[in-house]
Amino acid sequence: MPINYYIFLSLALFCIGIIGVLTRRNAIIIFMCVELMLNAANLLLVAFSKMHHLALGVNFPTLASEAQVFVFFIMVVAAAEVSVGLAIIVMLYRNTHSVDVNFLNRLKN
């Protein structure tokens, strides 16, 4: 399958993520959109790695799949982020009884 499909798919996912972050005010949804962007990047990494493997795998079998390891790194970061982020959202909800990010501007001053 041509690489173009993967690129377009992940670009679409990424753009959906960005638009979601920009337009929505619900913290949970913003959070999900961020996850969406991260996974768009993951998808692209895996796709490129696979393509790379097809081109070089004959001569360098170990080298070609190493790029997929980065996906795990991103997953770990995302998991850590989720734990911190959700904790913040919970605290936000407890204080304001809302998950609207616009209330966060009270941090000012």
Partner 1 sequence: MNNILQIVWLIPFLPLVGFLINGLGRKSLSKSVSGIIGCATILGSFILSIWVFIQVKNGNTFVAHYYDFVNTAALKIGFDFQIDQLSSLFLLIITGVGFLIHLYSTSYMHEEDNKDFAKYFAFLNLFVFSMLLLVMGGNYIIMFIGWEGVGLCSYLLIGYWFKNNEYNDAAKKAFIMNRIGDLGFLLAVFWLMSKTGTADYHEVFANVSKLTLTDITGITLLMFVGATGKSAQIPLYTWLPDAMAGPTPVSALIHAATMVTAGIYMIARSNVLFTMAPLTQSVIAVIGLATAILAATIALKQNDIKKVLAYSTVSQLGYMFLGLGVGAYTGAVFHVMTHAFFKALLFLGAGSVIHAMGGEQDMRNMGGLKKYMSVTHITFLLGCLAIAGMPPFSGFFSKDEILAAAYANSPVLWGIGVLGALMTAFYMFRLYAMTFHGKFRGTHEQEHHLHESPVAITIPLIVLAILAVIGGFVGIPEIFMHGGHKLEVFLEPIFAPSNAIAAKHHLEHATEYILMGVSVGGALIALLYAFSKFSKYEKTTAEESGLGKIFANKWYIDELYNTIIVKPLQSFAGFLNSLVEKKGIDGFVNGVGKAINYGSRQIRFLQSGQVGNYVLLMVVGILIMFIIQFLSK
- Judged by CB under 8 A, does residue 97 bind partner 1? no
Which residues are CB-neighbours of 75 under 8 A, at least 6 positions away? 42
Other C-beta atoms within 10 Å of 88: how many? 12
CB of 90 to partner 1, least distance (A): 17
Radius of gyration of the chain (CA): 18
Nearest distance from residue 17's CB to partner 1, in Å?
Answer: 11
* Span interacting with partner 1, options 2-10, 59-67, 77-85, 101-109, rule CB under 8 A: 101-109
Which span sits near partner 1 by CB under 8 A: 18-26, 39-47, 66-74, 86-94?
Answer: 18-26
CA-CA distance, 51 to 85, in Å (whole number)? 34
3-class SS of residue 59: coil
106 binds partner 1 (CB under 8 A): yes
